[in-house]
Structure formats: structure tokens, C-alpha cells
């Protein structure tokens, strides 16, 4: 059985080695980060805060977590950081525990307009017992309608305004929402999972500096880390967030990936700004090229994107599911996605696809490669060549992009450490 698992891992690695990865919620870690996964940390427990553990044998683990906290505070220029949440949803749950009570009302972005399910009634927010009110959303601007929000907020008086999205093409109005929140004694939470690396790289505004009371984020999208999460805030909220994390939603916090996160934070301090700038350049070039090829890329009014993401309306091509499956056949990996005019009832085949360039950027691709990727997409969707021919061209294209860049030491992206 173990040989079967090893075979499947090798086959997966081979598939990814010669595909174009455009899933907006994924990224690659460096070898230095991956090596932490193999350490003895992965066998151990460290419940509680640094220096206040419920288990013995944690003195070196304490030091790693202390370093991770200090690096995080330095990187994001904040007073408080908790690095224990093991996923973005867990971080969001902790924030809901810290800043709301069951029965409270919150504002969030609906899933078709880009919101994450954990902000909605079907997931973490609903399980906390929160009442959800959706922001009015300006489809042309692909952003929250601030004026409309203020009108509704006066009546419903939410306890928490949640910003941040799974489909996030541009800067969101944190400052403006904070002004509304202060008038009704509410707090502002920003789920920065998708843009955390762009914030670290200083190409996306830091929501804490713009007035958000709490920032949650996973650490493996535009950030260089393993799959876990963090929470940032001011020190005045530290005790309530710590309690919400442990014992609220976390027991042991996966210490091997915590060590990996500390390494990734060091890499972000060293390479984050150059990486983030290239990510945005790449996203814009890919969006512009697809638009010039005749595709309905959202956001023409504001230059298509200010992040790592691109959204394309593919209803004329059969919908997002059909398009994503057809692209997967040639080795282009992306996801179908609801767009603002969609109902959640058509999630199985929504109007759009979502594209992210953060992983191909970490493989060393630049604007020239974005033009080539757009051409591969176009050839596939418009049947300009046989699928087998395009697949071969993509395999050849990928041969030049096999190592992780923006790291202390370049390494094979798909080796088994």
C-alpha cells in the first residue's frame, strides 16, 4: 500500500511539473520550508502560549514560535500577531469568537461577488450563529458600494464588517468602511488570505494601517508559506484573540509547518517586494492579452486587476466548468468561479473562471510568458490546434521553469524531500 501512495505522489508531481498552475489559492514553498515538514517538530505538541505550555519539552519550539511572531510583526508593522491558526477558516472562526456573539449581525461579501464561504451562513459565520447581511456590490467597479452600505448599516447595526474576498481584483474600501463602523460602534475584519503576500510586498494596502481592527489570513497563496494562517491586530485586542485561538479553536498548532512559516516570513522580508511587483505585472499582462484576444475579462474600467487574480466571463464558451475541464486536458490548471450575476444554485457550472499568477511567478515567469500562456488558453478554447499538440507545447514550455525562485536557495519545485 505504501508503494501505491508513493506512486500516486510521483504521478501527481509529474503532472504538475509539466502543467501551468493557475489556481489562485495555491503556491509553492521553497526547499528550506519543505524540510521543516520532516523535522521532529511534526511529532510534538505545544498547547498554550510561548513560555506557558501545558506540555514539557517545548523550549526550542517556544523559540521558533517567538521568532515567527517577531518576524510577522516586523513584516506587517503591527503590534500583535498570533501565528497559531492552522488554516484560514480557523483564523476566521477565532476572529468571530473574539469580536462577536451568537445572534450578532455581520456584513460580508456574498459568494457570487467574491466572498469566502467562511464569511457566510453555510460555513464558519453561520456556525457561530451570526446573521449575515451582504454588502451592496458595484459589479462595474467589482467592489463594495460604500454609500449603499452606510444606508443599510444605519438600520441593521452590524457588530462586525468583514472585508476580503476569494475573488479579489482590487483594493477594497477599508478606510471608508471603518468610518461607517465607528459611527455605530462596530469593528472591521479583513480576511487577507489572497493578498497577504502582496501586503508584505507593499503593492496592496495594509488593512490594519487603513483602520481594520483585525486581519486574518492563510499563508500559502501570494505568501511563501505552508498551509496555515495568522491573525494580526493591535495589542489591545491581543488577550481576547489569544483566548479565541487557544483554547477556542486550536489545540496543538502543527509545529512542523509553524517552523516552515518562520522560514517563509524570512523569505518574504528578503524577496517579497520584488516578487509582489512581478505578480501584479504578470496578472495585468495576462489579463490584457486575453482581452485583446477577444475574451470577456472583468474589470476593464480599472485595468482588469490590481492583485494576482483575473476573472473571465466564459458563458459563451459553455460556462466555467466546461472551460476549466477543457483547459485541464492540455495541462492548464485553474478553477471555475461564480461571478456577481450568478446564483449560488449554478455553482456546478458558473459563468466564470478565476486565474491566479502567483505560482507561475514564483517559478520565474514574467510578462513574456504571460503572453504565451494566453495563447495556449486561446488555442485550446477555440480549437486552433489538437489538444495533444497543445499539451506537448506546454510540456516543452515548462521545461525552462522547474525551480522555486524568490528564495534563499533555488530548488526543484516538485521533488520529494
CATH number at residue 380: 3.90.1150.10
**Measured CA distances, 293 to 56, 92, 251 (Å):** 61, 39, 51
pLDDT of residue 394: 98
Domain span including residue 320: 2-28+273-412
Instruction: Give me the numbers of helices (H) and strands (E) for the chain, helices first please.
Output: 14, 19
Whether residue 417 lies inside any domain: the answer is no
Q: 130-134 long-range contacts, Cβ below 8 Å, gap at least 24?
A: 130/96, 130/100, 130/102, 130/103, 130/104, 130/105, 130/106, 130/160, 131/103, 131/104, 131/105, 131/106, 132/105, 132/106, 132/108, 133/105, 133/106, 133/107, 133/108, 133/158, 134/107, 134/108, 134/109, 134/110
Task: Enumerate the β-bridge partners of residue 214.
Answer: 189, 233
Pick the last residue of a domain from 265, 281, 311. Answer: 265
Q: Which pLDDT tens digit goes with each residue over 62-116?
A: 999 999 999 999 999 999 999 999 999 999 999 999 999 999 999 999 999 999 9
Block means of pLDDT (10 residues each) for the chain, length 417 residues?
90 97 98 95 96 96 98 98 98 97 97 95 92 96 97 96 98 98 97 98 98 98 98 97 97 97 98 98 98 98 97 97 98 98 91 98 98 98 97 98 96 81
Q: Which residue has the cell 517538530?
A: 41
Q: Are residues 334 and 297 in the same domain?
A: yes
Q: Are residues 162 and 277 in the same domain?
A: no
pLDDT of residue 346: 86
The size of the chain, in residues, is 417
Total tally of structural domains belonging to the chain: 2
pLDDT of residue 385: 96
Q: Are residues 351 and 220 in the same domain?
A: no
**Measured CA distances, 373 to 134, 245, 318, 338, 356 (Å):** 36, 41, 21, 23, 12
Q: Which pLDDT tens digit goes with each residue over 110-139?
A: 999 999 999 999 899 998 999 999 999 999
Output the CA torsion 96→248→212→169 (10° steps): -70
Q: Are residues 57 and 127 in the same domain?
A: yes
Backbone angles phi, psi at 230, to 5 degrees: -150, 165
Task: Give the predicted TM-score (pTM) of the model.
Answer: 0.97
Q: How many CB atoms lie within 10 A of CB 235?
A: 9
Amino acid at each position: 500500500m505504501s508503494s501505491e501512495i508513493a506512486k500516486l505522489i510521483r504521478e501527481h508531481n509529474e503532472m504538475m511539473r509539466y502543467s501551468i498552475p493557475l489556481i489562485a489559492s495555491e503556491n509553492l514553498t521553497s526547499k528550506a520550508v519543505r524540510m521543516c515538514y520532516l523535522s521532529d517538530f511534526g511529532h510534538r505538541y505545544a498547547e498554550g502560549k510561548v513560555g506557558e505550555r501545558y506540555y514539557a519539552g517545548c523550549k526550542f519550539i517556544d523559540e521558533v514560535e517567538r521568532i515567527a511572531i517577531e518576524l510577522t510583526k516586523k513584516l506587517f508593522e503591527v503590534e500583535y500577531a498570533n501565528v497559531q491558526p492552522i488554516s484560514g477558516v480557523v483564523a476566521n472562526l477565532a476572529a468571530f469568537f473574539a469580536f462577536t456573539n451568537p445572534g450578532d449581525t455581520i456584513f460580508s461579501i456574498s459568494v457570487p461577488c467574491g466572498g469566502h464561504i467562511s464569511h457566510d451562513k453555510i460555513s464558519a459565520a453561520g456556525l457561530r450563529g451570526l446573521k449575515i447581511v451582504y454588502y451592496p456590490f458595484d459589479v462595474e467597479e467589482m467592489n463594495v458600494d460604500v454609500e449603499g452600505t452606510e444606508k443599510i448599516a444605519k438600520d441593521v447595526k452590524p457588530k462586525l464588517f468583514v472585508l476580503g474576498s476569494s475573488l479579489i481584483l482590487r483594493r477594497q474600501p477599508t478606510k471608508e468602511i471603518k468610518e461607517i463602523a465607528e459611527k455605530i460602534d462596530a469593528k472591521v475584519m479583513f480576511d487577507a488570505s489572497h493578498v497577504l503576500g502582496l501586503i508584505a510586498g507593499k503593492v496592496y494596502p495594509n488593512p490594519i494601517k487603513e483602520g481594520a481592527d483585525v486581519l486574518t489570513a492563510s499563508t500559502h497563496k501570494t505568501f511563501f508559506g505552508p498551509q496555515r494562517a495568522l491573525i494580526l491586530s493591535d495589542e489591545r485586542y491581543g488577550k481576547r484573540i489569544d483566548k479565541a485561538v487557544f483554547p477556542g479553536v486550536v489545540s496543538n498548532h502543527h509545529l512542523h509547518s509553524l517552523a516552515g512559516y518562520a522560514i517563509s516570513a524570512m523569505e518574504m522580508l528578503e524577496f517579497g517586494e520584488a516578487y509582489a511587483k512581478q505578480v501584479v505585472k504578470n496578472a495585468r499582462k495576462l489579463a490584457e492579452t486575453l482581452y485583446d484576444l477577444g475574451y470577456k475579462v472583468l474589470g476593464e474600467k480599472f485595468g482588469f486587476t490590481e492583485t494576482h487574480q483575473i476573472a473571465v466571463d466564459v458563458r459563451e464558451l459553455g460556462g466555467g466548468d466546461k472551460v476549466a475541464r477543457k483547459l485541464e486536458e492540455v495541462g492548464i490548471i485553474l478553477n471555475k468561479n461564480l461571478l456577481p450575476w450568478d446564483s449560488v444554485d449554478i455553482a456546478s457550472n458558473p459563468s466564470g473562471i478565476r486565474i491566479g499568477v502567483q505560482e507561475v511567478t514564483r517559478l520565474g515567469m514574467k510578462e513574456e510568458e504571460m503572453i504565451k500562456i494566453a495563447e495556449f488558453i486561446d488555442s485550446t478554447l477555440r480549437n486552433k490546434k489538437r489538444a495533444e499538440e497543445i499539451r506537448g507545447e506546454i510540456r516543452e514550455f515548462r521545461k525552462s521553469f522547474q525551480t522555486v525562485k524568490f528564495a534563499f536557495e533555488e530548488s526543484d519545485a516538485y521533488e520529494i524531500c
